[in-house]
Structure 1
Amino acid sequence: MGLAPLLVDTYCTYKKGTGNFVQWLAETARATGTVNNVFKDGHHEAVQPTGGRLKGAARKEAKKAGLTQNATATCQIPAKSFLTLATAIAGDTHASVPRSVFTTLRAVIQGRKDCAVWYAMTSDREDIAAKANNASHSHFIKLLEDVFEILKAKQPRAEHQSPKTTKLDPVPSTNMYSLLQDEALSEIGEMPEVIESHVRPTKEKVTYKLETSDADVSFAIFCFFKDATHLRLAVRRTWREFAKGDIGLQAAALTMNAALTMIEKLSNEFEEANPRFKDAETQWMHLEITKFVHDSYSKDGEGTTFIDAGDENHDAFAYKEGKQMLRSDTVMCTHTTDLLLSIFFARKSQEECRLTNDEKRFLKCVSQLPCAGSGVIVLESCMVQKAASTMLIKQQLNSWIIFCLQIFWDMQRELGSRLHVGKALFDKTGQQLIKCYQNYLDTQGLEDIGITHKIFRDDIIKRKDYIQTLINDAGLQQTFTRNEQRTGQVFGNIRDFSLLKCDPALCGLFLAGIRHEYHRTAIDMASNQGIILVAAHLYNAVKQTGCLPRDLQWADMDWLIEQQGSDWMFVGKKPEGGVDFGKHVNLAMGLSAHKFTKDYNSRKPGKEVETKVGGARRFKYHARYSELGFNREPRRKKQTGGSKAQNDVLIMVESLVNDYQDPAYDNRKGLSSLEKLRVFKLAIEKDEPALAFDVMELFLRCLQVLQDIQKHAVVVAPHDYSELRFIRGIPMNAVVCEMLYDLSGKEKRVHQSIFPVAAAILRKKIEKEGDAVLQKAQVWQDETRIELVDDKNEDEPSFENPDEDTMAVEWRNKFGCIVFQDANGDCRMPYGPPV
């Protein structure tokens, strides 16, 4: 599957909205016939009529412009002509202004105002370039507001609303879907995909576009930082949910990794659209962007018509969302960038920079993260690791790298002294999976059930050993340290340092890997020889024949049947009696069931042998994440390994979002990156029960039931179930199939039917352990969540960087002991000796 456009980010949204408005404005005004002079300047590329054949000079012009007979010409519309075009529309009695025009125009004005406020923050810098940049923003906004006023004459009286006198609050989202009803989106609101136009088509196809200006670069930067900060705060809130016990470690880690992948895509798209930052010789894109922003600051922003972005003390903030107000240095990750440059590029020492313990821990993790995927450790698509590796090895500072490392540090600061809980949860889950694998290895007689189990046994031993390696923190940390020394980018020694104990996100990704591996192994094993499938048909037959009390349910098997689908398990409706029991189990096992048809006549009575036509039905992976991460090929086709979703996080996000979003939602409008991240997180959480359900354990219980029935059959009915055919391995399935045939009344047996005894064996197992797997699954789910803090009803604290981050590294040695006071009045002394 190809990657659909994933991110409907802020810049693309407003660019499209502006383009739609310009297209409508130019088409509608041109149709009045009063502004033709606007379209006759040098900005109009060769226009080709759609009907008829071009002749003479027109054909030469079209050929020179590279136009085909039905090509669309492009006309650049200067912003200064907007008032002329709007006046022409307002003065034409036949022209109308659709409601979508006003909706789009309001949103575009609001977006541009937000951008202008961002650049109008007070600063010590004041130069000609900054003044020109702010003036450009101000002029364009004033122009759009004037156009709104002119077109307002065409708006129904009840809808008249002036952008000058009315604050343009964000338009609330109207397409919220069920998965997101608990959270209000912070996005600016929606613009129509298109603006309906009532203008008759002209003889020529023309695309009207706004002339480009330097202000677009400023607007693109503003939108990029806004989207990246939205995602950054969403990740930090996710780790707060983890600390409160509202979300598991795996879901938190996968959500963070998906958000970082989205930011990388946004960053790369920005670079492609703005090569002035990409082509810097140093490849330090983030520094070039932040320099551009700082050079654009001006004091002239005070007293303008822009909306107020400050607090009660009129302090300017670069980002406001709800109660979160972040200053520009926090938004642009200034301190983190400064720290990384000083240590890994300028090669300054810890002592020289007077680093805090928090900074040391962060930098040590960055130094060791590139080593976390080497040697015997397998880690796929870890964005923080990718960012650290790209920075240290390729010496690049793209914006996505800075944001990845900043968000990693945000996570550490959010969890604080509770960072080690991630490693504790990972160890607990690892021990559980080792025990599950060992239960399989300890099961007697598996070597007699075909070569498949010999292959599985070797793989299971390797997977168990791999988990053991991961949870051996001392040995693993030694590997990371050795690999770090080989890279030449050693930060320095920190006593008793452990990467996994400082990185719950990395623990969460390792946890996700081993859980999904176990889930796939168990499902594949259960599918391979049809043991659970046969047990399900036996269970159904025992229920249908009244051999089980009505109130006695095999809860574990019922859950699995529900997940797989009853029609899939039973090849249609569940058989209710007679010949259907034998026929349906045969079909499910991939065997021919023709001899159980109503008009069957054997050509060789007593000698017919069932013909194998295929393998047992393969089970679906219950966890959707696992299903998307692996190509499930038909039995006869060679497995191809990992899928595109496994290798590309964005494809996984796109697929899960398509699965879980409300069907009533209009896919054509698209979702923002923040909306998609929220759906993705909820989809990952919904996978938790499926991953916690131990199919391997159910498989072993079914195996024991079938083995007990097999042993009984060959002892009490040796002529019907001879040892030669039914004593070893997979023939245990055949015993049940033959037994179910007896219920049709067509088979003549030497001995009495063994079905009543088989029903008793199954009933005993259900009464003793019928819901054991589900109960264990609930315990597993509970153990993956730990409530670390009890502040569910408290207001969210500020995510603003701490005060000590405002002091640049190179200034610290110039000052003596510095003491900072936090919000609680406690003193922090990060630099210098204690007082």
Structure 2
Amino acid sequence: MATTPPSLFDTYKQYKAGTIKVTTWLASRAQELNTCTDLFAPSEIKGTGRLKGKARAAKKVVPKEQSHQIPLSAIPRIAKAIANIKAQEVPGTIIRTLEDVIAARSACNECFEEHGSKDQSTQASNEKHQHFIRVLRETLRILKPLSKGSDPMNGTNRVRENDSMEGVAGLRNLFQYLEVEDPIEWTSSTLPSDKKSSKALCRYELEPTDEDISFAIFCLLKDLTDIRHYVRQTWAEYREHRIALTTAALTMNTVISVFRRLNEEFLVNFPQFDDHGAITSKVFFCDLTYEILALFFMQAELAFYQQEAVRARGFPLSDDEEALYKCLSLFGLANTQFEGDFFTTRDQVILALHIARKDKVLYTWVVFAVQLFVDTRRILGKELKRCFDETQEVRKWMVTTLDQCLLHGQTNTVNDYHKTNAGRLQEVKKSIKLLLEYDLMQEIADEYLDARSALYAWGSFYLFRNHPMLLGLLTQYFLTKIHELRIGLGGDQAAIITSIHLYNACQQSRYLSESLEWTDLERLIELQDPSWIFVGDRPKLPGKCFSHYNLMGVSATAFSKNRHGKSTMRLNRNVSLPIAQKKNRRLKHMSTYFALMYVFNQHAKPGTARWSLTRAADDPLVMLEKLVERDLAASNDAAAGITNDSRKPLATRPKVHPLKMISILKNSLKSEEEIFRFDLVTLNQRCVEMLRKA
């Protein structure tokens, strides 16, 4: 399926698209009506004679769209000129978009008035914001009566209602009416549509002002703060046992990647605000997290919090502040010891601090990443201990599962899967023990600090106990590895699918009572999709069961033994046991998350991994885009009644607000929590044992 991945469409981009939409419509309409002509200088097209060769080819690649700027003061004038001409109508989307633009600027002004400094420069800046808002309100007052079916009071009431929203919380539904389109679609339908015309399309936008910088900062902080609140709610859901630790951890980790992308896009237009301190100085507010990072973490090559010395000086620190200093010390140590390893590539908090130290710049996204770390401890409170305890329980279960699989493989004669993959099973087991059973960070601290390590002995697994996101990332990482192995095991041997067909045949033949149900098999059929397991609809007649099993492609004799305990397969002595290769129907990877992480390697040799990692496995933002892309495609197809076969690729990249993208990610992860904990290894062993006794 060829589709286009979605792109982050933050509040500032929405605002810019909204203003361009309104100004382009006004300018295009005025030009159609031949009014306010002094504002629109005609394009100078100089004749160059007949071009040939490369010159003609170069002429063809001239951009189709030209951008022009209009002063703010001209907007009401254009609106009045259009209104003075009879039978003019303003599209409803223009009115609603203008209302949203006004609401956004009003919220920005109220935020700075409430939280900003009271000096003359700040008050002068606020007055300019208010002037901008007054001009747009005047434009709305002129255009509103021209909108079809409009009530002159509705627009004013809606703007006032939006104006009264407090802080950033009320901005989450802004621009809900903004339909992101190509600029040509924003103009009137009467504009020339000749595709062969050599004239460039025109896009109009407002002239930039000094207040645009403050508004852009406001939009960035608003988006980051809204997403931060969403992550806090996510951890609250975990605290209340509504989602798994892995879901909360992956959501937070991905959010930090989103923070980074939003910050980088902001710096493209405003590079002077690379350090978060420049932003705090511009908008006049304090940030304790930034101050701690600047004065402690960034001042030394490897800063270590000296607990006893600080307490002896009588500096009052809260538990959260003290934990932050200690964990920053261990984060710095991890960066010196694990560069390019799991800790510095998968954990976005550690990666953020690594980049800040390397670039010697405290980016805004780095500060927000550390703030999320602090938020997590505060939200979880007494439940913080549960994260570590749950991780240890999952660790024990994973190790037991691997031991059980290895033991079963020593006597298994179905095929060579256990033998060829025993090394990989041992490797995963060793990694689990290294990272989750042993206190690796304390061992490294003891080795690095030598005799001074006693000063920094803050308790076993201190970093893990105070950094739930890392625990969740490690748990998900190993669950994914085991999921890959057990899907391969169950699919390669086909004992599970064979048992499903036998189980269904017994049900349809009434050899099993209707009250008896193999719960694990029924759940697996549901997760795999009955049409995949049964090669079509689930057979309802006994005679159909065998036909569908034959279509699946595995002979039941592969699992049977005679009374002497030997296989009933008639094989020559030199023939190895059968390994299914593009013949039998294997188990599907039930997780979309997993499917996006791996790609099947058809040319893999025996004993090597059949699945190769994709970019989505290492880059949370790529995974986010892929998951959102699939979700949007599925939603659009369901609404339009389109099947996978008839689906057409999208012509443009869907533009989605980051908060919606993160919500899609979390819901997707939540829906697949059971899949990674479904014990296929034990189920496969039970199926093999049952078939041997059949």
**Displacement after TM superposition at 1:37 (Å):** 1.2
**Displacement after TM superposition at 1:633 (Å):** 4.3
What is the identity, as a one-letter code, of the residue corresponding to 2:686?
Answer: R
Distance in structure 2 (CA, Å) of the matches to 1:492 and 1:57: 82
Aligned to 1:654: 625
**Displacement after TM superposition at 1:670 (Å):** 4.1
Specify which of 594, 614, 619 is matched with residue 626 of structure 1.
Answer: 594
Distance in structure 2 (CA, Å) of the matches to 1:371 and 1:685: 33
| Cα distance, 1:370–1:545 mapped onto 2, change above 3 Å | farther
| Cα distance, 1:154–1:120 mapped onto 2, change above 3 Å | same
Q: What does the per-residue CA deviation read over 1:268-290, in whole Å, with 9 as the maximum and x for residues that have no partner?
A: 11111212334xxxxxx211222
What is the identity, as a one-letter code, of the residue corresponding to 2:290?
Answer: T
Q: Is the 8 A contact 1:367 1:490 kept in 2?
A: no
Aligned to 1:229: 225
Q: Is the 8 A contact 1:3 1:650 kept in 2?
A: no
| Cα distance, 1:571–1:643 mapped onto 2, change above 3 Å | same
Aligned to 2:492: 528
Q: Is the 8 A contact 2:598 2:612 kept in 1?
A: yes
Distance in structure 2 (CA, Å) of the matches to 1:185 and 1:75: 29
Aligned to 1:340: 293
What is the identity, as a one-letter code, of the residue corresponding to 1:572?
Answer: G
1:210 aligns with 2:206: yes
| Cα distance, 1:483–1:185 mapped onto 2, change above 3 Å | farther
**Displacement after TM superposition at 1:126 (Å):** 2.3
Distance in structure 1 (CA, Å) of the matches to 2:373 and 2:331: 11
**Displacement after TM superposition at 1:576 (Å):** 6.0
**Displacement after TM superposition at 1:123 (Å):** 5.0
Please, which moves more after superposition, 78-87 or 192-201? Answer: 192-201
Q: Is the 8 A contact 1:47 1:72 kept in 2?
A: no
What is the identity, as a one-letter code, of the residue corresponding to 1:114?
Answer: A
Matches within 5 A, 1:634-653: 634=602, 639=610, 641-653=612-624
What is the identity, as a one-letter code, of the residue corresponding to 2:119?
Answer: E
Please, which moves more after superposition, 199-208 or 452-461? Answer: 199-208
Q: What does the per-residue CA deviation read over 1:776-812, in whole Å, with 9 as the maximum and x for residues that have no partner?
A: xxxxxxxxxxxxxxxxxxxxxxxxxxxxxxxxxxxxx
**Displacement after TM superposition at 1:396 (Å):** 2.4
Aligned to 2:276: 286
Aligned to 1:7: 8
Q: Is the 8 A contact 2:11 2:219 kept in 1?
A: yes
**Displacement after TM superposition at 1:223 (Å):** 0.3
Please, which moves more after superposition, 198-207 or 10-19? Answer: 198-207
Distance in structure 1 (CA, Å) of the matches to 2:449 and 2:363: 25
1:495 aligns with 2:481: no
**Displacement after TM superposition at 1:585 (Å):** 3.1
1:116 aligns with 2:109: yes
Specify which of 90, 95, 105 is matched with residue 98 of structure 2.
Answer: 105
Q: What does the per-residue CA deviation read over 1:189-242, in whole Å, with 9 as the maximum and x for residues that have no partner?
A: 413325765452258432222222222221111000000000111111222222
Aligned to 1:177: none
Q: Is the 8 A contact 1:8 1:670 kept in 2?
A: yes
| Cα distance, 1:493–1:353 mapped onto 2, change above 3 Å | farther
| Cα distance, 1:224–1:651 mapped onto 2, change above 3 Å | same
Matches within 5 A, 1:659-808: 659-660=630-631, 662-663=635-636, 670-709=655-694
**Displacement after TM superposition at 1:630 (Å):** 1.4
Matches within 5 A, 1:52-91: 55=47, 71-91=64-84
| Cα distance, 1:589–1:56 mapped onto 2, change above 3 Å | closer
RMSD: 3.8
What is the identity, as a one-letter code, of the residue corresponding to 1:342?
Answer: L
| Cα distance, 1:432–1:612 mapped onto 2, change above 3 Å | closer
Please, which moves more after superposition, 410-419 or 553-562? Answer: 410-419
What is the identity, as a one-letter code, of the residue corresponding to 1:686?
Answer: S
**Displacement after TM superposition at 1:131 (Å):** 4.7
**Displacement after TM superposition at 1:244 (Å):** 2.0
Please, which moves more after superposition, 408-417 or 377-386? Answer: 377-386
Distance in structure 2 (CA, Å) of the matches to 1:403 and 1:611: 52
What is the identity, as a one-letter code, of the residue corresponding to 1:629?
Answer: M
Paired-residue identity, %: 27
What is the identity, as a one-letter code, of the residue corresponding to 1:692?
Answer: R
Aligned to 1:813: none
Aligned to 1:220: 216
| Cα distance, 1:477–1:72 mapped onto 2, change above 3 Å | closer
Distance in structure 1 (CA, Å) of the matches to 2:448 and 2:125: 45
What secondary structure sits across from 1:246 in the alignment? Answer: coil
Distance in structure 1 (CA, Å) of the matches to 2:82 and 2:501: 73
Q: Is the 8 A contact 2:492 2:579 kept in 1?
A: no
Matches within 5 A, 1:325-404: 328-329=285-286, 334-346=287-299, 351=310, 354=315, 356=317, 357-372=319-334, 378-379=342-343, 380-404=345-369
| Cα distance, 1:523–1:613 mapped onto 2, change above 3 Å | closer
Q: Is the 8 A contact 1:224 1:267 kept in 2?
A: yes
| Cα distance, 1:640–1:432 mapped onto 2, change above 3 Å | closer
| Cα distance, 1:553–1:534 mapped onto 2, change above 3 Å | same
**Displacement after TM superposition at 1:645 (Å):** 1.9
Please, which moves more after superposition, 646-655 or 68-77? Answer: 68-77
Distance in structure 2 (CA, Å) of the matches to 1:337 and 1:81: 42
| Cα distance, 1:98–1:655 mapped onto 2, change above 3 Å | same
| Cα distance, 1:669–1:514 mapped onto 2, change above 3 Å | closer
Q: Is the 8 A contact 1:530 1:589 kept in 2?
A: no
Aligned to 2:160: 168
| Cα distance, 1:106–1:659 mapped onto 2, change above 3 Å | same
Q: How many pairs were matched up? A: 626
What is the TM-score with the length of structure 2 in the denominator? 0.81
Aligned to 2:563: none
Distance in structure 1 (CA, Å) of the matches to 2:466 and 2:148: 61
Distance in structure 1 (CA, Å) of the matches to 2:136 and 2:156: 11
What secondary structure sits across from 2:626 in the alignment? Answer: helix
Aligned to 1:33: 34
What secondary structure sits across from 1:419 in the alignment? Answer: helix
Distance in structure 2 (CA, Å) of the matches to 1:89 and 1:573: 63
Distance in structure 2 (CA, Å) of the matches to 1:55 and 1:353: 80
Unpaired stretches in structure 1, ≥5 consecutive residues: 49-53, 172-182, 279-284, 295-327, 593-605, 710-835
Q: Is the 8 A contact 1:591 1:614 kept in 2?
A: no
Q: What does the per-residue CA deviation read over 1:78-99, in whole Å, with 9 as the maximum and x for residues that have no partner?
A: 2221122111110111421111
1:558 aligns with 2:534: no
| Cα distance, 1:691–1:47 mapped onto 2, change above 3 Å | farther
Please, which moves more after superposition, 397-406 or 341-350? Answer: 341-350
Q: Is the 8 A contact 2:144 2:150 kept in 1?
A: no
Aligned to 1:720: none
What is the identity, as a one-letter code, of the residue corresponding to 1:341?
Answer: A
| Cα distance, 1:545–1:505 mapped onto 2, change above 3 Å | same
Distance in structure 1 (CA, Å) of the matches to 2:143 and 2:512: 76
**Displacement after TM superposition at 1:76 (Å):** 1.9
| Cα distance, 1:421–1:554 mapped onto 2, change above 3 Å | closer
Aligned to 2:241: 245
What secondary structure sits across from 2:599 in the alignment? Answer: coil
Q: What does the per-residue CA deviation read over 1:640-662, in whole Å, with 9 as the maximum and x for residues that have no partner?
A: 51122212212222333344464
Distance in structure 1 (CA, Å) of the matches to 2:611 and 2:241: 38
**Displacement after TM superposition at 1:185 (Å):** 8.9
What secondary structure sits across from 1:206 in the alignment? Answer: strand
Distance in structure 1 (CA, Å) of the matches to 2:348 and 2:4: 19
Aligned to 1:201: 191
Bigger helix share: 2
Distance in structure 1 (CA, Å) of the matches to 2:178 and 2:269: 24
Q: Is the 8 A contact 2:494 2:554 kept in 1?
A: no
Distance in structure 1 (CA, Å) of the matches to 2:357 and 2:579: 62
Unpaired stretches in structure 2, ≥5 consecutive residues: 164-168, 557-569, 641-649
Higher Rg: 1
What is the TM-score with the length of structure 1 in the denominator? 0.68
Matches within 5 A, 1:513-592: 513-575=477-539, 582-589=546-553
Distance in structure 1 (CA, Å) of the matches to 2:217 and 2:171: 21
